[in-house]
A and B are shown apart, each in its own frame.
Chain A
Amino acid sequence: MLVSSRLVTRSRLLLWGGCLALALALPLIFRSSFLISLLCQMGIMVVFSLSYNMLLGQTGLLSFGHAVYYGLGAFATMHTLNALGKDGGPLVVALLPAVGACAGLAGGVVLGYVTTRKAGTTFAMITLGIGELVAACSLMFPGVFGGEGGVSGNRVIGKESFLGFNWGPQVEMYGLIVMWAFVCTVAMFALTQTPLGRMANAVRDNPERAEFVGYDTERVRLLMVILSGMFAGAAGGLTALNYEIVTAETLNAHTSGVVLLMTFVGGIGFFYGPIIGAILITVMQIVVGGMTHAWLLYFGLFFLFMVLKAPGGIASLIAVQRNLWNAGLFGRMLPHYLAMMLPVLILLAGLVGVVELSYALLAGDGVGAGDTATRVLGMQLKLGTPAPWVTALAVTGAGMILTRWIGGRAGTAWNSTLATLHGDKA
């Protein structure tokens, strides 16, 4: 017993250390300033969505106003940075996200008191309302929130440096973000292994029973909201330092929606789920957003697909495969996965074709409508003629039929494999 737990600890240490080393090494591979900025954004979002999952995944609280804590942390950090003026130094700047964390914590105490009186749907609605309230107020107080222009600052204070860093170059900022993200992630993981973390799970599963084993569920929720607000605030502090500007948008409903999306897509049932979600969605937002103006539609459809087909998120898909692998059953599914790839690709190609054609025609992404040739997906097409439409629809249809057909067989295999898996276990 003792030995095995020590082994677990050692492999866990290796895993954490490996992740940290990998994160720190990434700028060696991705050198352009854009890619490093992208990595920075990912690091911040990882912390933010992990903090969100403390509510959604661990305590079962669906919040539509989590950006409030994030924004409060960002503004507090920025104001502190500006108040420091010349008195600060790189070391102080490096520690500033802690100010954001405190602000998030304070916000959690005040708002948590109001919101955690109820769970479930009511909680979701209250957070929505409070989020709206704070977002609306943020524009009314330009003194605090900087009005439309936001509050900006400079993270490089003076000429001195701390261990050779002054955080000016983006790479140094990236290093700082990685360190903070690492500390926060470790802390959030540790929290799941404490009495409070476990009771949060208990309250999520069965609040009534939690009361009858002696726990005040409101108090458990409140504490989780406060702690989650704290980490969200730290993420906000990192944003403030990274972009050196904070606007009212950081605390509005859109930001809350994005973090919900990330967390859910990544998988709320696993600690590492939100990390996957944050990385994936950030990349998609910026890369798919750069490729097509229809990205919001693709996003919405992808989200709906995940809700209906994989409500456990990507992490749960990975977990299932790992279970299969451990049980030695992965090989049984692999041919089916490979067989599925082609029809799914065809289906996707068809759908993308239809969507892009529609955008080119209706939203005027190309040069006008009518018979003129327009570039769609790198091809010169005449939108006014039926040919491209028929082709796209035909590909979609073929993809659908093939997916159904091959998918049906894969589904049968899947069910029997799962049955074997659970049969082995039971």
Chain B
Amino acid sequence: MSAPAIRLQGLKKSFGASEIIRGVDLDIHRGERHAIIGPNGAGKSTLFHLISARLPVSAGTIELKGANVVGLKPFEITRKGLSRSFQITNIFHNLSVFENLRCAVLWSLGYRYSFWQRLAGLTDARQRAEAVMEDIGLGKRRDTPAGILSYAEQRALEIGITIASGADVILLDEPTAGMSNSETEEAVALIRRVTEGKTLVMVEHDMGVVFGLADRISVLVYGQVIATDTPAAIRCNAAVQEAYLGTSVSHE
């Protein structure tokens, strides 16, 4: 249990000539809730894409629970216990809510590419999917196609799919983006509930959510982490205030 959940060392990513991530070193401890904040264009989503292998790394290493995961494909990383959500809702539109969640639990329950087992007979998959469905409050929408859910419901489903696989490291990319205040509150409660005992890394713009939820916060500016600390310390950090909070948190 000594290795951190995620360790980034000298991580770089460039698109053509422009370097978006310019050498990030960061340790995320097991079991902590870690938020990454920073101004627009700082590279937060890109960082997530690198960790989850959606984008190839230009230089540096990523360790997941002590093992180097650079060069692995997304599904391989997922199988190692890392799961992520997307800023733009990324669900199976033509499948029902229940089927969405069931798809998400199949691999971790070991059903792999089975074509000799009936889905209906897989009690554990059904129970786990139903449990997540209740967790995210979509029990009443069980058979509704995901494509016609409301926005907030889709965001909840997005989180549901992310946690359903039972991964212990969870990356949430702006889980409350575009939500109203009451919806945000529900979402925060949901995230708190479903990530209990897991490692959570999130990118979030809503500072209320960040400071309410995170154990530690990293500030990413122009592709570099300028500070990593507790919320209280970040609030007082001069460099952070200069680079970021001075402009953005003033109206918090």
**Interface residues in chain A, defined as those with a beta carbon under 8 Å from any beta carbon in chain B:** 5, 190-191, 193-199, 201-202, 204-206, 208-217, 219-220, 223, 227
Contact = CB atoms under 8 A, between A and B. Distances in A.
Interface string B101-129: 01110111001111111111010000000
B60 to A, nearest CB: 22
Which of A205, A211, A214 is most buried by chain B, counting CB atoms within 10 A of its CB?
A214
B95 interface: yes
A213 B115 contact: no
Given A209-B91, A212-B74, A198 B99 contact: yes
Contacts of B119: 193-195, 197-198
A385 B2 CA distance: 95
B78 A208 contact: no
B104 A213 contact: yes
B200 to A, nearest CB: 16
Contact of A195 (B52, B73, B113): B113
B103 A213 contact: yes
B116 A211 contact: no
B75 A215 contact: yes
Contacts, number: 97
Given A193-B118, A213-B165, A219-B113, A199 B103 contact: yes
A206 B75 contact: no
B92 interface: yes
A215 B161 CA distance: 13
B192 interface: no
A214 B108 CA distance: 8
Given A193-B118, A196-B113, A198-B106, A212 B99 contact: no
B13 interface: no
B33 interface: no
Given A194-B114, A194-B115, A215 B95 contact: no
12 contacts: A193-B119, A195-B119, A198-B95, A198-B99, A202-B95, A202-B103, A205-B92, A209-B92, A210-B92, A210-B103, A212-B74, A213-B103
Closest A-B pairs by Cβ, 6 of them? A214-B107, A205-B92, A196-B115, A211-B74, A195-B111, A214-B78
B79 interface: yes
Contacts of B83: 212-213
Interface of B: 52, 54, 73-75, 78-79, 83-84, 90-95, 99, 102-104, 106-108, 111-120, 122, 161, 164-165
Contacts of B92: 201-202, 205-206, 209-210
Nearest to A8: B120
A205 B93 contact: yes
Nearest to B84: A212
A219 B79 CA distance: 15
Nearest to B52: A212
A9 to B, nearest CB: 9
Given A199-B103, A201-B92, A213-B103, 19 more contacts: A5-B120, A193-B119, A194-B115, A194-B116, A194-B117, A194-B118, A195-B115, A195-B117, A195-B119, A196-B113, A198-B119, A201-B94, A201-B99, A205-B93, A212-B52, A212-B74, A213-B107, A213-B161, A223-B113
Contacts of B118: 190, 193-194
A210 B90 CA distance: 10
Nearest to B167: A214
A227 B74 CA distance: 25
B65 to A, nearest CB: 16
A206 B115 contact: no
B73 to A, nearest CB: 7
Contacts of A209: 90-92, 161
B179 to A, nearest CB: 21
B106 A199 contact: yes
Contacts of B108: 214
B250 to A, nearest CB: 36
Contacts of A227: 115
Contacts of B164: 213
A212 B93 CA distance: 15
Contacts of B73: 211, 216
B115 A191 contact: yes
A129 B79 CA distance: 35
Which of A195, A202, A211, A217 is most buried by chain B, counting CB atoms within 10 A of its CB?
A195
A4 to B, nearest CB: 12
Nearest to B108: A214
Which of A5, A199, A212 is most buried by chain B, counting CB atoms within 10 A of its CB?
A212
Contact of B114 (A196, A202, A216): A196
B78 A211 contact: yes
A197 B79 CA distance: 20
B26 to A, nearest CB: 21
A221 to B, nearest CB: 11
Contact of A201 (B95, B112, B116): B95
Contact of B107 (A191, A194, A197, A215): A215
A193 B125 CA distance: 13
Contacts of B114: 194-196
B50 to A, nearest CB: 14
A144 to B, nearest CB: 31
Contacts of B112: 195
Which of A191, A196, A213, A217 is most buried by chain B, counting CB atoms within 10 A of its CB?
A213
Contacts of B115: 191, 194-197, 223, 227
Given A5-B120, A202-B95, A214 B165 contact: yes
Contacts of A219: 113
Contacts of A191: 115
A199 B114 CA distance: 10
Contacts of A5: 120
A204 B103 CA distance: 13
A76 B120 CA distance: 36
B105 to A, nearest CB: 8
Contacts of A223: 113, 115
A202 B90 CA distance: 11
A216 B75 contact: yes
